[in-house]
Chain A
Amino acid sequence: MKSICFYFQVHQPFRLKTYRFFNMGHDHYYYNDFENSHIMSRVAQKSYLPMNDLLLKLFKKHGKDFKVAFSLTGHAIEQLELYAPEVIQSFKKLADTGNVEFLAETYAHSLASLRSKDEFFKQVELHSNKIESLFGVRPTTFRNTELIYSDEIGSLIHEMGYSLMLTEGAKHVLGWKSPNFMYCNAREPKLKILLKNHTLSDDIAFRFSNHGWSEWPLTAEKFTDWLSSLDKNEDVINLFMDYETFGEHQWRETGIFDFMAALPAKILKTKKFKFSTPAELGKELQTIAPIHVPYPISWADEERDITAWLGNEMQDEAFNKLYDLEPKIKNCDNQEILTDWYRLQNSDHFYYMCTKWFSDGDVHKYFNPYNSPYEAFINYMNVLSDFTMRVEENCQKSDSEKIIEKVDELSKDISTAAKKAVKNTRKKVQDIIATNKPDSASFDRIKELSNAKIKTLLKEIDAENLLYALQDATDEVRDKVLPNLTKTAKAEYDRLSEGIKKIRKSDIAKSRKIIAEKISRFFS
C-alpha cells in the first residue's frame, strides 16, 4: 500500500525593529514586539488554532489511519509562548493523540549548516531539547531550514546520528527520477532521504486559491484522483508545506479547511493509500538509489537553491560578519547575548535582503517587512554592529583565540629574546674577531712604544713567539724591536730563526695576538 506523508512547517522569525545607527551603543533591544505579537496572534487565530482543531477532529474520526508530522522552530515556539500560549496547549493535545511526529531542525531556523558544523550541531541539540521538554518525545527525523540539503549536509546529519531526513524533490537534482521513493545520501547510504513531491504539495500550498489556474477549484475528489493516477509501483507521496498555508496563505474563504477536512476520508476510501509519518517510512521503506546533490538545494523559488538567502554582496557581507563572531560566542555564557545570537541567525533576515525578485515575486513582498532589500540590509547591519560591540565587550575569548593570543605573546617574547641574543652574539663575535684577527695593526703598534717599554715587554715574550710574530713584519717594526732584545734573548732568537724553515700563517697570527694582548695594556 502506498503512503501519503504530510509534514507541516511552523516558523515565525523575530522581526527586527527599525534600528538606526544612532541607537548603537546604548539600545540593545532589537525586536519589533508590536509587529511580532501582532503577526503571531493573527496567524494563531487564522491558522494554527483552527487547523489544530481540525486535525484533532480528524484524528478522532480516523484514529490511527490519519497521521501528520510537524516541525516547529525554536523561535516559533518562543513567540507562541510569548504571544499565543494557547497554541502550545493545542499542539500538546495533538501530541497526546500519538498521531503526530515532531521533527528535528535548527533551533534558530538558521543557515548554520552552510557555515559551521559546531554551531549547526549545537542548534539541533538545543531544538531537540526544547521539543522533548514540550512534547515528551525526542525527534528522530531531521529536516533542515527551508529543506536545505546537500551531500555534505547529509553526511553531517548522519554524523549527528540521524538515519532519516527530508528535503526537496528538486527537478534539477532528480532529472527523470521520481520523488515518490525512498532515496539515500550519496556518501552515507545509511541516511535515508524523503523527497517532497513539489507538484502535488504546491497544488495545495500555492495554487489552491488561484483562479487563473486551469485546475481551480481544487476539490478533495480531484486531488484523490490525481493521487490514484500515479504509478502503482511508487512507494510514497510526500506533501510538505508551511503550516500557515491553512488559513493564512490560503484564507478560510478559499475553502482550504473544508478541503482538508474532506481529504483524509476520500483518500482512505480508495483503500490504495495509508497515511504515514516520516519515522514510520524510515523503518518501512527500502532505499532505491542514492541522490547526488553536490550543491545545496532548498524548497524555495523556482530555482530550488539557496540564492534566496545568500549570494548577493549584501547577504554575503551580513552572513560573514555574523559568523565571524562565532569563535567569541563559543565560550560565552551571557544569556542575553546568546538569545540575540540565535535570533540574528534567522534565515529570514537574509531572505529580506534578496534582490532576485526585483522582477518577479509577490510572494516575497508578502513575507517581507521592508520596502527594499537595501533597507533590510542597513537595518540588519546596524543591529549587527551593536551586537558585535557587545560581544567584544562581554564575551570571554574562545580557546582558539586564547591560543592565538598566547602564541602571539610567546612569539613576541621569543623575538625580543632572539634580538637580545643576536645582539650579544654579534658583540662577542666582534670581540673575537677583534682579538683573533691576525691584526697587524694592533701588533704594529709596538713601534709606537718607547724602547724602555719594549724592553719590559720583551721580557715576557719567549723567543719563538717573537720570531713568528716578526715574520713578514715591516722593517720599521723589526728595527724597533730587535735592538731591544737582551743578548741572551738575541742569541736564542738567532738560533731559532736559523732552524725555521716554514712558518704557518696561523702561527704568525697566534703569536702576534699574544704579543698584541700584552701591548694593549700600555695603551689602555
Chain B
Amino acid sequence: MKVLMFGWEFPPHISGGLGTACYGMTKGLANQNVETIFVVPKAFGDEDQSAVRLVNASDIIVDSTDEAYKEFWKKITYMEIGSNLIPYVGPQEFARLVEKNNLESTGLTKKVTSTKFNFSGKYGSDLMAEVSRYALVAAGIAKNLDYDLIHAHDWLTYSAGIAAKKISGKPLVVHMHATEFDRSGININQNIYDIERKGMEEADRVITVSNFTRNIVIEKYGINPDKVFTVYNAVEPTEKEVDEVKRYVKEKVVTFLGRLTQQKGPEYFIEAASIVLKHDPDVRFVMAGSGDLMNKMVKRVAQLKIGTKFHFTGFLRGTDVDKMFMLSDVFVMPSVSEPFGIVPLEAMRSNVPVVISKQSGVAEILKHALKVDFWDVHGMADAIYGLLHYESLGKMFRKYGKDEVNSLKWDNAAYKIVQVYQSLFQS
C-alpha cells in the first residue's frame, strides 16, 4: 500500500507535536509495509537555521547514518513545497506576522520547547490564499505520482488533500490532531472551521486522536459518525539520559508546563495552588511556559498573595524541560480542551505522577493518572494534596506509570491506521 501524505512539518524540521507524531506514524506504517510519500510546505532557504537546531532538541534524535533510519527512508518519499504555511498560526496572526515581516518568538509550538521562526514574508500575505496556493501545488504533485490513498494532517493541508482527491480519484483520509474549538474555545475562526468541516465532509475516513475529539467532530461539525475513527497517538521510546539535578528547595514542587493560553487552562492551576497553599504552605508551584495569558496569570498570583510560593519560569527549552520534570513531585495538566496531550506522558516517563483534566484525549487511555474536570479546582487541589501527602500513591504511580507510557507504541497505532485504510477498499 502506498500513501500520499500531506503534513506541514517533519523531523528534523519540527516545531511542535505534529511533526513528532507524523514521524512516529510513518515509521509505524513502514513496519506495516505501507509506503509513504510525505509532502510538507517549506519556505525554501528562508528559515533561520538556528531555529532548526532548536527544535532538534526535542524528543526525536534523528541520526541519518542509523541503519534503521535508512531502512525507514527507503519506504518514504519526502517532498517539500515552496510555501510559507506556518503551523499553529491563525489567519489574523499570520497576517500580522507577515506584515511585521520579521517575527520574534511567538506561540508557534505546542511544546514549551519554543522555536524562533524568522519569516521573510516573500510569499502571499494572506494565509487563506496561501492554503489555496499550496492546494494547487499539491494537486500538481498528486497528478504525477502513483499511490493508493491520500492522508492529510490538520486543516492547513485539507485543501491540498481535497485537490489531490479530485484530481486522482483516490480516497481521502483526514487526520484531526486538533480542532478549531480546542485552539480558540468558543471564539472560533469561521474560515478555519469551514475548511475543517469541508475537509472532513469530502474525506472518506476521518481519524481523530481521541474520542474526546471524535465527539467534537461529530457534534460540532456534523460529520457522519460511521466514518470517524479514533486512533490514539503514541510516543517514541526514548533513551534520553538527563543528569541528576540537585534540588535546592526543601518544599515539594508542583508543576504546570505548557503554553499560557485559554486552551491549556493555566488559571485553574493557580486557583488549585492557592487552595493547597492555604492548608499546606510547604509546597512550591511552578508555571513553565509563556503565552498571551502570561500577564493575567502573574496578576492573579499577586492578587491571591501566593507569589512567594508560586513561580513563573517562562519558556523552557530542551533539557530544561527534563530538568523541570526531575525537580517536580507532581505534574498538572488542567487543559480546557486537549485533543490528546503528550506532556503528561513525558512527565510520567520521568517518574512524575500526573493530574490531568478529563477534557483531554490522553485521559481516555491513562490508568495511572488522577483525572479531574478542568473547572473542578477543589478536586484538582485534593489530587495534588493527596499525591504530596500520601506516600503510597506516588509509589504506585512511579511503579506503573512509566511502563504504561512505554506501552503506547506507534506500531500499534499504525496497525489501527492500516485497518482504517483497508476499510476503504473492502466495501
What is A's interface to B at a CB cutoff of 8 Å? 20-22, 24, 312-314, 316-317, 355, 358, 371-372, 374-375, 377-378, 381-382, 385
* CB <8 Å contact, B385 and A21: yes
- Partner among B368, B370, B396 whose Cβ is within 8 Å of the Cβ of A313: B396
For A22, the chain B residues whose CB sits under 8 A away are 275, 278-279, 378, 381-382
For B370, the chain A residues whose CB sits under 8 A away are 372, 374-375, 378
Chain A, residue nearest B384 (CB): A21
Minimum distance in angstroms from B331 CB to a CB of chain A: 15
For A358, the chain B residues whose CB sits under 8 A away are 367
For B399, the chain A residues whose CB sits under 8 A away are 313
Minimum distance in angstroms from B385 CB to a CB of chain A: 4
Knowing A21-B279, A358-B367, A371-B371 are in contact, say whether A377-B390 is a contact too (CB < 8 A): yes
For B391, the chain A residues whose CB sits under 8 A away are 317
Minimum distance in angstroms from B344 CB to a CB of chain A: 14
* CB <8 Å contact, B395 and A313: yes
For A316, the chain B residues whose CB sits under 8 A away are 392
For A24, the chain B residues whose CB sits under 8 A away are 279
Chain B, residue nearest A22 (CB): B279
- Partner among A21, A314, A371 whose Cβ is within 8 Å of the Cβ of B396: A314
* CB <8 Å contact, B367 and A314: no
For B395, the chain A residues whose CB sits under 8 A away are 313
* CB <8 Å contact, B371 and A355: no
* CB <8 Å contact, B382 and A378: yes
Query: Whole-angstrom distance between the alpha carbons of A385 and B386 in the complex?
Result: 11
Query: Whole-angstrom distance between the alpha carbons of A313 and B399 in the complex?
Result: 10
* CB <8 Å contact, B367 and A21: no
B393 an interface residue at 8 Å Cβ cutoff?
yes
Minimum distance in angstroms from B43 CB to a CB of chain A: 47
Minimum distance in angstroms from A107 CB to a CB of chain B: 28
* CB <8 Å contact, A314 and B392: yes
B383 an interface residue at 8 Å Cβ cutoff?
yes
Chain A, residue nearest B358 (CB): A371
Chain B, residue nearest A19 (CB): B382
Chain B, residue nearest A384 (CB): B390
Chain B, range 390-422, C-beta contacts under 8 Å to A: 390-393, 395-396, 399-400
For A374, the chain B residues whose CB sits under 8 A away are 368, 370, 386, 393, 396
* CB <8 Å contact, B393 and A314: yes
Query: Whole-angstrom distance between the alpha carbons of A136 and B381 in the complex?
Result: 50
What is B's interface to A at a CB cutoff of 8 Å? 275, 278-279, 367-368, 370-371, 378-379, 381-383, 385-386, 389-393, 395-396, 399-400
Chain A, residue nearest B400 (CB): A355
For B371, the chain A residues whose CB sits under 8 A away are 371-372
Given contacts A21-B389, A377-B392, A378-B385, 20 further A-B contacts (CB under 8 A): A20-B382, A21-B381, A22-B278, A22-B381, A313-B392, A314-B392, A314-B393, A316-B392, A355-B396, A372-B367, A372-B370, A372-B371, A374-B370, A374-B386, A374-B396, A378-B383, A378-B386, A378-B390, A381-B386, A381-B389
- 29 examples of A-B residue contacts, CB within 8 angstroms: A20-B378, A20-B382, A21-B279, A21-B385, A21-B389, A22-B278, A22-B279, A22-B378, A312-B392, A312-B396, A313-B393, A314-B390, A314-B392, A314-B396, A316-B392, A355-B400, A372-B370, A372-B371, A374-B368, A374-B386, A374-B393, A377-B390, A378-B382, A378-B383, A378-B393, A381-B389, A381-B390, A382-B382, A382-B386
Query: Whole-angstrom distance between the alpha carbons of A399 and B389 in the complex?
Result: 31
Query: Whole-angstrom distance between the alpha carbons of A312 and B275 in the complex?
Result: 30
Query: Whole-angstrom distance between the alpha carbons of A313 and B353 in the complex?
Result: 15
Chain A, residue nearest B378 (CB): A20
Query: Whole-angstrom distance between the alpha carbons of A371 and B366 in the complex?
Result: 13
Chain A, residue nearest B394 (CB): A313
Chain A, residue nearest B396 (CB): A313
Query: Whole-angstrom distance between the alpha carbons of A382 and B386 in the complex?
Result: 8
Query: Whole-angstrom distance between the alpha carbons of A377 and B381 in the complex?
Result: 15
For B396, the chain A residues whose CB sits under 8 A away are 312-314, 355, 374
Chain B, residue nearest A378 (CB): B386
Chain B, residue nearest A358 (CB): B367
Q: Which 8 A-B pairs have the closest CB atoms?
A: A378-B386, A313-B392, A317-B392, A21-B385, A20-B382, A381-B390, A314-B392, A313-B395
For A314, the chain B residues whose CB sits under 8 A away are 390, 392-393, 396
* CB <8 Å contact, A20 and B381: yes
For A21, the chain B residues whose CB sits under 8 A away are 279, 381-382, 385-386, 389
Query: Whole-angstrom distance between the alpha carbons of A332 and B182 in the complex?
Result: 56
Query: Whole-angstrom distance between the alpha carbons of A483 and B381 in the complex?
Result: 99
For B386, the chain A residues whose CB sits under 8 A away are 21, 374, 377-378, 381-382
Chain A, residue nearest B383 (CB): A378
Chain A, residue nearest B368 (CB): A374
Query: Whole-angstrom distance between the alpha carbons of A374 and B393 in the complex?
Result: 7
Minimum distance in angstroms from B397 CB to a CB of chain A: 8
Minimum distance in angstroms from A28 CB to a CB of chain B: 17
Chain A, residue nearest B395 (CB): A313
Chain B, residue nearest A24 (CB): B279
Chain B, residue nearest A380 (CB): B390
Query: Whole-angstrom distance between the alpha carbons of A415 and B395 in the complex?
Result: 42
For B378, the chain A residues whose CB sits under 8 A away are 20, 22
For A355, the chain B residues whose CB sits under 8 A away are 396, 400
Minimum distance in angstroms from A17 CB to a CB of chain B: 13
Query: Whole-angstrom distance between the alpha carbons of A436 and B382 in the complex?
Result: 74
Query: Whole-angstrom distance between the alpha carbons of A385 and B279 in the complex?
Result: 13
For A377, the chain B residues whose CB sits under 8 A away are 386, 390, 392-393
Minimum distance in angstroms from B408 CB to a CB of chain A: 15
For B392, the chain A residues whose CB sits under 8 A away are 312-314, 316-317, 377
Minimum distance in angstroms from A115 CB to a CB of chain B: 17
Query: Whole-angstrom distance between the alpha carbons of A377 and B399 in the complex?
Result: 16
Query: Whole-angstrom distance between the alpha carbons of A231 and B393 in the complex?
Result: 50
For B368, the chain A residues whose CB sits under 8 A away are 374
Chain A, residue nearest B399 (CB): A313
Query: Whole-angstrom distance between the alpha carbons of A377 and B385 in the complex?
Result: 12
Minimum distance in angstroms from B394 CB to a CB of chain A: 9
Minimum distance in angstroms from A466 CB to a CB of chain B: 74
Query: Whole-angstrom distance between the alpha carbons of A317 and B396 in the complex?
Result: 12
Minimum distance in angstroms from B92 CB to a CB of chain A: 40
Minimum distance in angstroms from A26 CB to a CB of chain B: 11
